[in-house]
Amino acid sequence: MKQFTTFLKKEFAHVLRDRKTLLILFGMPIMQILIFGFALTNEVKNSKIIVVDYAKDMASQNIITKIEASRYFEIEKAMMSAKEIEASFQQGIIKMAVVFPPDFNKDLLHQSTAQIQVIADASDPNTANTLTNYVSSIVQDYQRDLDKTSLLPYRIEPQTRMLYNPQLKGVHNFVPGVIALVLMLVCVMMTAVSIVREKEMGTMEILLVSPFKPIMVMVSKAIPYLILSLINVTTILLLSVFVLRVPVNGSIFLLFAESTLFIITCLTLGIFISVKTNSQQVAMLISLMGMLLPTILFSGFMFPIENMPKALQIFSNVVPAKWFYIIVRDIMIKGVGLSEIWKETLVLIGITLFLMAVSLKNFKIRLE
Amino acid sequence: MKDTVIKTDKLTKRFGDFIAANEISFEVYRGEIFGFLGANGAGKTTAMRMLCGLSAPSSGKAIIAGFDVYKQTEMIKRNIGYMSQKFSLYDDLTVLENIHFFGGIYGLTDKQLEMKSKALIERLGLQQEAKKLVASLPLGWKQKLSFSVAVLHDPKIVFLDEPTGGVDPVTRRQFWDLIYDAADRGVTVFVTTHYMDEAEYCHRISIMVDGRIEALDTPKGLKQAFQVQSMDEVFYTLARGAKRGD
Amino acid sequence: MDAVVVQDLIKIYGKDDVRAVDNVSFSVKPGELFGLIGPDGAGKTSIFRMLTTLLLPDGGSATVDGYDIVKDYKYIRNTVGYMPGRFSLYQDLTIEENLTFFATVFGTSIEENYHLIKDIYVQIERFKDRRAGKLSGGMKQKLALCCALIHKPTVLFLDEPTTGVDPVSRKEFWEMLKRLKQEGITIVVSTPYMDEATMCDRIALIQSGKILSIERPEVIVNAYADQLYAVKADHMYSLLKALNRFDHTINSYAYGEYAHASFRGPATEHEVVEFLTSQGLANIEMHRIAPTIEDCFIKLLKNS
């Protein structure tokens, strides 16, 4: 045990004393979230919205006044046909259209329920989301006002339609993607390099001529990065919730548990690379080309796997990030529990155990 | 009248508060084998870098092969050769490719290269190995080859940084034969070494201690001045007082 | 029982079947200071790595402390101390942290074996909070020796500890080794510096993977068959060339301020001087000398 804590202390010293790398490791997730976030988010402020009021009654006028009151968007009233609206979307003139059907007020009064059509250009999912959320909240506001004066509850239903990108791929989806990417980068590359560095520096030579246990080296190398990565996951989640307004719908605890599992998968992958290579450069290249690229390509977060050729679809199954991506997306966005994702979790556990066994078996107890 | 090829006057290099080379002044003459000795960290490498035009002095003057170390570093590099134990040749090129590459850097024409590489390979007896990778040569041969490459362009001065470290005694002497031969042709040889018997082969020796040149004379003169039998003792007497390591 | 026994050890590298170590045999007695003397590429490091169980031999066998280097590698790793040729400590850890780390890896503590390293450690102790990467060459070497000693090894393997180190530090280092020997530790050390051979109890001269001679240094020197002369003249390079041309020269080469030379029987000192004078040399000085290890090595190399 004493030996293990000594190893651990040494590893922490290596990690903490390399200030530059540490800065990159902590800065990277923040950079990535911001880059992805802003690349996908246009200025919401300058978005042009048209309001098409077929009803022209009291209720619709009231809501329109409320929308206009924000002066946050550029709002134009126009009478457009469905075709004209679509044309404006296609030309990129407008970002959202709010359509009040005829008899809006009548429906509301007689049936206690009325509908508003909210159509947004979801090719920029982040903006579309913000805009529709904004309109929905105004409508809800109005509904609450009405409810105060009446005994009957009213229901105004905004019918949201996302044009061009109905699943809103983007903002919600890239956060799980970034988590997978960052964990992959930090865990695989850093552990891969850290054991190889001992080979390059010659310290492995001395360690080998001592009664140390390979498993001890591996575990102690992994722990600092496990902690570091958990901090990174926290940073990413905080940023996505508070800056990008992407909520975590499922259990936070489950999310962290699954992240820990994936981190361990990545760490074993890194250790596997490091026992197989002899120079830091090679280890770095393999982790970048062999690990990071498949993560981006085959995790499904940038390119939909369904559209790939069959062979690549099958290949994507061995990319751990794919499974993790599904897990995080389902927890964060769909808000599901373990019962829905146990299969993916099992696959990850399987990959991890396999890699661990192979790394331990391949750890060289001699030089060469 | 001796032909001076290196002349320094209070040459100094500071790194912050640390004075790596402290007002070193000396002269080296044409065709001379000049031994530049000192303990690890005495400032030899720093001084040598300044003389090769690789690092600008903090103060003082130095003229190398007739050129100023501040302004004419390009001209200095053209007129010197350099060889160190650590980097000399490309392991993954053949003997011939190395010769052509380094000759090419110094602007030798194809004809000159052809002639010189042939002569060089013959002199070193490397006919069999000319097309082999340098990596496959024994260390001693590599060192001899890299010295020959360093003087291929007939430089006025050749700087050798611990050229014989780890080489066997016979090869070491063959290496010194090459040095003598070059000096005979008028090339000035500026050499650092940790072998004290090699210090004896030099015409004159300087010994650096803590950034200063503490002694400079012929081997014989130094031994007389310190009233000892060997260079080893001279070095030991001087370097024992050193305060800093590298 | 001998501390180290090496029997016909062979190590082959690469596809060209280069024999880096070629049928090497020797043994080291407990408490002995044994030197492997030879140039770079002679096979010293390969031998060390096989004895420290880092490499598997391609032939032959060896034991350290009675343990087989292949079968019992775990025992050997527990008992020996090893200092590789290149500085191999953690550069980003301090002196004290490095030492503590290696002590714990071997399941011991600095205090337990402090007496062993005390003499060396006090010289670097005031820098104990400095990172190893920032130490001077001499200090690094001392720290590395401390780390190799901290678990009180029975056999200490030092691979070229003095390479690239200046003569003063080298002398200090050998004095440290002499003191360690008195503690009863068997030391196997390699060096390319011939002048260090006399510091060892016994030496093996090695070249191109083969051992040329194993003996006590004085025995090797006494076995030198020819009469060796030191010759000096006004011009060294001409002297060397002239000696080479002389018919009766067996061997001649530069050696410090003199040229060392041996001559075939009939040539007298007088004849040599006469010949050199005829070659245009002046101020000729010549006297008999006892050979050094380096002279012996040169002779062995030329014979082989």
Neighbors of chain C with 3 or more C-beta pairs under 8 Å:
A, B
Contacts of A9 in chain C (CB under 8 A): 101
Of C168 and A162, the one with more pLDDT: C168
C265 to chain B nearest CA, in Å?
A: 24
Is the sign of the CA dihedral C151, C43, C165, B246 positive or negative?
negative
Q: Homologous superfamily of A44-163 in CATH? A: abc type-2 transporter like domain (3.40.1710.10)
pLDDT of amino acid A72: 65
Distances (CA, A) of B129 to B34, B59, B126, B132, C246: 32, 47, 5, 5, 31
Work out how many CB contacts closer than 8 A connect A with C: 78
CA trace torsion A255, A260, A264, A269 (10° rounding): 40
Contacts of C42 in chain B (CB under 8 A): 168
Q: Which two tokens stand for residue A146?
A: 């009405």
Buried b (16+ CB within 10 A) or exposed e, A48-59: ebbbbbebebeb
Of A152 and A170, the one with more pLDDT: A152
Residue A101 DSSP code:
P
Chain-chain contact of C168 with B242 (C-beta, under 8 angstroms)? yes
| Cβ neighbours for B201, distance < 8 A, ≥ 6 positions apart | B33, B35, B176, B179, B180, C236, C254, C256
| Contact in structure between A317 and A308 (CB atoms under 8 Å) | no
CATH of residue C87's domain is 3.40.50.300
C38, C163, C255 ranked by CB distance to B197: nearest: C255
pLDDT of amino acid B59: 94
Contacts of B201 in chain C (CB under 8 A): 236, 254, 256
Chain-chain contact of A367 with C54 (C-beta, under 8 angstroms)? yes
Q: Which two tokens stand for residue B75?
A: 């001209």
| Cβ neighbours for A361, distance < 8 A, ≥ 6 positions apart | none
Chain-chain contact of C56 with A3 (C-beta, under 8 angstroms)? no
The mean pLDDT of chain B is: 88
Q: What is the DSSP string of A112-135?
A: SEEEEEEEEETTSHHHHHHHHHHH
Residue written as tokens 């508070």? Answer: A242
Q: What is the DSSP string of C203-272?
A: EEEEETTEEEEEE-HHHHHHT--SPEEEEE-S-HHHHHHHHHH-TTEEEEEEETTEEEEEE-TT--HHHH
Contacts of C38 in chain B (CB under 8 A): 168
Reported as a single tens digit per residue, the pLDDT across A3-55 is 888 888 889 988 888 888 888 888 888 888 888 776 655 456 667 788 888 87
Chain A interface includes C53 (CB < 8 A) = yes
C53, C88, C101 ranked by CB distance to A201: nearest: C88
**Using CA atoms, how far apart are residues C132 and C152, in angstroms rounded to an integer?**
22
**Band of the pLDDT at C152, cuts 50, 70, 90?**
very high
C40, C256, C294 ranked by CB distance to B169: nearest: C294
Q: What is the DSSP string of A278-315?
A: SSHHHHHHIIIIIIIHHHHHHSSSSS-GGGS-HHHHHH
pLDDT of amino acid C46: 94
Distances (CA, A) of A185 to A200, A288, B170, C142: 21, 8, 53, 39
**Using CA atoms, how far apart are residues A301 and A298, in angstroms rounded to an integer?**
8
Q: Which of A219, A231, A253, A240 is nearest to A186 (CA)?
A: A231
Counting the structural domains of chain C, the total is: 2
In terms of domains, do C102 and C181 share one? yes
In terms of domains, do C178 and C299 share one? no
B168, B183, B195 ranked by CB distance to C207: nearest: B168
| Contact in structure between A321 and A180 (CB atoms under 8 Å) | yes
Query: Which of C126, C168, C231, C295 would you mutate first to test chain B, the one with the most B CBs within 10 A?
Result: C168
In terms of domains, do C274 and C162 share one? no
> What value does the mean pLDDT take over residues B107-119?
88
Contacts of A14 in chain C (CB under 8 A): 90, 92
CATH of residue C244's domain is 3.30.70.100
Chain-chain contact of C138 with B40 (C-beta, under 8 angstroms)? yes
Reported as a single tens digit per residue, the pLDDT across B20-57 is 999 999 999 999 999 999 887 788 888 998 998 888 99
> What value does the mean pLDDT take over residues A266-275?
92
**Band of the pLDDT at A344, cuts 50, 70, 90?**
very high
C39, C192, C237 ranked by CB distance to B184: nearest: C237
B173, B235, B239 ranked by CB distance to C254: nearest: B173
pLDDT of amino acid B246: 45
Chain B interface includes C257 (CB < 8 A) = yes
**Band of the pLDDT at B217, cuts 50, 70, 90?**
very high
Chain-chain contact of C41 with B139 (C-beta, under 8 angstroms)? yes
> What value does the mean pLDDT take over residues C237-250?
91
Chain B interface includes C253 (CB < 8 A) = yes
In terms of domains, do C104 and C183 share one? yes
Q: C56: domain range?
A: 4-222
Kindly list the domain boundaries of chain A, sorted by start residue: 2-39+170-362, 44-163
Interface of C with A in 249-278 (CB under 8 A): none
Report the 10 Å Cβ neighbour count for A292.
17
A235 to chain C nearest CA, in Å?
A: 28
Chain B interface includes C73 (CB < 8 A) = no
pLDDT of amino acid C36: 94
Q: Which two tokens stand for residue A355?
A: 């890699």
Of chain C, the percentage scoring pLDDT greater than 90 comes to: 65
Helix (H, G, I), strand (E, B) or coil at A2: helix
Last residue of a domain, one of C222, C242, C264: C222
Tell me how far the alpha carbon of residue C142 is from its chain's centroid.
17
pLDDT of amino acid A158: 75
Contacts of A366 in chain C (CB under 8 A): 53-56
Contacts of C93 in chain A (CB under 8 A): 10, 13
Chain A interface includes C14 (CB < 8 A) = no
pLDDT of amino acid B41: 78
Q: Is the pLDDT of residue B233 over 70?
A: yes
Q: Is the pLDDT of residue A182 over 80?
A: yes
pLDDT of amino acid C264: 87
Establish whether chain C is in contact with chain B, requiring a minimum of 3 CB pairs below 8 angstroms: yes
Q: Which two tokens stand for residue A80?
A: 């457009």
- Measured between its terminal Cα atoms, the distance across chain A in Å is 29
Query: Which of B33, B88, B197 would you mutate first to test chain C, the one with the most C CBs within 10 A?
Result: B197
Chain-chain contact of B165 with C236 (C-beta, under 8 angstroms)? no
Q: Which of C153, C180, C178 is nearest to C4 (CA)?
A: C153
> What value does the mean pLDDT take over residues C249-274?
87
Reported as a single tens digit per residue, the pLDDT across C65-111 is 999 999 999 999 999 999 998 888 899 999 999 999 999 999 899 99
In terms of domains, do C27 and C99 share one? yes
Reported as a single tens digit per residue, the pLDDT across C183-204 is 899 999 999 888 899 999 999 9
Query: Which of B40, B173, B178 would you mutate first to test chain C, the one with the most C CBs within 10 A?
Result: B40
Helix H or strand E segment including C33? strand C33-37
In terms of domains, do C239 and C188 share one? no
Chain-chain contact of C136 with B245 (C-beta, under 8 angstroms)? yes
In terms of domains, do C71 and C185 share one? yes
Q: Which two tokens stand for residue A354?
A: 């396999």
ipTM given for this complex = 0.80
What is the maximum alpha-carbon separation in chain A? 88
Q: Is the pLDDT of residue C242 over 60?
A: yes
Last residue of a domain, one of C222, C242, C257: C222
Interface of A with C in 200-219 (CB under 8 A): 201-203, 205-212
Reported as a single tens digit per residue, the pLDDT across B183-197 is 989 999 999 988 888
In terms of domains, do C203 and C238 share one? no
**Using CA atoms, how far apart are residues C175 and A25, in angstroms rounded to an integer?**
47
In terms of domains, do C202 and C297 share one? no
Last residue of a domain, one of C222, C253, C282: C222
Chain C interface includes A309 (CB < 8 A) = no
pLDDT of amino acid C136: 77
Chain-chain contact of A10 with C77 (C-beta, under 8 angstroms)? no
Architecture of domain B31-54+73-239: 3-Layer(aba) Sandwich (3.40)
Contacts of C147 in chain A (CB under 8 A): 206
Contacts of C256 in chain B (CB under 8 A): 196-197, 200-201, 230-231
Which range, A218-222, B125-129, C145-149, has the best average confidence (pLDDT)? C145-149
Chain-chain contact of C105 with A6 (C-beta, under 8 angstroms)? yes
In terms of domains, do C176 and C46 share one? yes
Of chain A, the percentage scoring pLDDT greater than 70 comes to: 91
Chain A interface includes C134 (CB < 8 A) = no
pLDDT of amino acid B65: 93
pLDDT of amino acid A43: 52
Range from A58-72, A199-213, A285-299 carrying the lowest mean pLDDT: A58-72
**Using CA atoms, how far apart are residues A363 and A233, in angstroms rounded to an integer?**
30
Query: Which of C90, C98, C130, C131 would you mutate first to test chain A, the one with the most A CBs within 10 A?
Result: C90
Reported as a single tens digit per residue, the pLDDT across A92-109 is 778 788 888 888 777 777
Chain B interface includes C85 (CB < 8 A) = no
